[in-house]
Amino acid sequence: MLNNTMYSNVTGGQVVECRLEGSTAEIISGLKSIANVTQANLNFTGGVVHVIDSVLQIPGNFSSVAQNANLTALLGAVNATNLTSTLDGASDITIFAPSNDAFQNIASALGNITATQAAAVLEYHVINGTIAYSSSLANTTIKTLGGANLTITIENGTVFVNSARVVNPDILMAGGVMHIIDSVLNPANNATGNATESGAATAYSGASSGTAVPFTSGVPTPTTTIVDLVTSTTQVAASYSSVVAAGGSAASTAGAGGKSSSTGGAAMHTGAVGAAALFGGAAFFANV
């Protein structure tokens, strides 16, 4: 029901993430805030009610989510290339968001980059017109906002975007979803990752790290932060189970990791209301 563009630019309405932690059902909303189901399956004439222990948070726009996720380098780069209003007002987008460490690790390559080149790099991190929740990520290629392709690879429970690892998935935004990755993508280098390698890979040959995080000058330090940060890549796509989405069918599709998950529609369709198996437990997405 949350489809007012003041709060959501997601086709079909904003979603929440639902997952099981042991016997507890968790409902995850904006800023990865967690509400626990305290009383389930109260049926009424028009449906069912689940009582939860806190009020859900409406996801913010790109700028607020990036700041609260401490993605201040990404936010500063977007501000410097005049893409802020575009991303804040965008609908149905997926952003693969490099961490601050990812930017710092290639600081030397960013020292003399032009605004045009920086914009091209940032556009390579954005998928336009498709909301790719974790359940939709599979071995495939996806066209980016700049026109080049990204390669998604699932290997031994690790999700790679080219050679970058997804380290914190499914951060909801007003316009779609964000996945934090551990390295900056390079439109001129689409090499894929290897789960046996340790540490973050770099797509910028010869780049070295700097003493400061690039692009963060003038960007405020976050006062609130995203919770439930996933730092172990073994948690990514660790568990998938057949779960029927709200209004969906039990048709099974292969999601991340190649395991089956039920969904109400085709994988990676815009504004999808589908089943999602989230890291560490089975889960589904349902319309708010």
Model-wide pTM > 0.75 = yes
Instruction: Give pLDDT tens digits for 64-119.
Output: 999 999 999 999 999 999 999 999 999 999 999 999 999 999 999 998 889 999 99
What is the residue-averaged pLDDT of the chain?
79
Binned at pLDDT 50, 70 and 90, residue 194 comes out as: confident
> DSSP per residue over 159-196, as a string?
EEETTEEEEEEEEEETTEEEEEESS--BTTB-PPP-TT
pLDDT at 243: 25
For residue 137, pLDDT beyond 80: yes
pLDDT at 28: 94
Least confident range from 47-61, 179-193, 214-228: namely: 214-228
pLDDT at 96: 97
* Residue 225 CB neighbours (<10 A): 12
Find the mean pLDDT for residues 23-32: 93
Instruction: Give pLDDT tens digits for 229-288.
Output: 443 333 333 322 222 223 333 233 333 433 333 232 223 333 322 223 222 233 333 334
Determine what percent of the chain is predicted with pLDDT higher than 70.
77
Binned at pLDDT 50, 70 and 90, residue 220 comes out as: confident
pLDDT at 214: 92
Three-state SS at 36:
strand
Give me the count of residues in the chain: 288
pLDDT at 248: 32
Q: What share of the chain is helix, strand, coil (3-state, %, to 5)?
A: 20, 30, 50
CA dist 225 and 27 (Å) reads 18
CA dist 152 and 157 (Å) reads 13
pLDDT at 142: 93
pLDDT at 195: 76
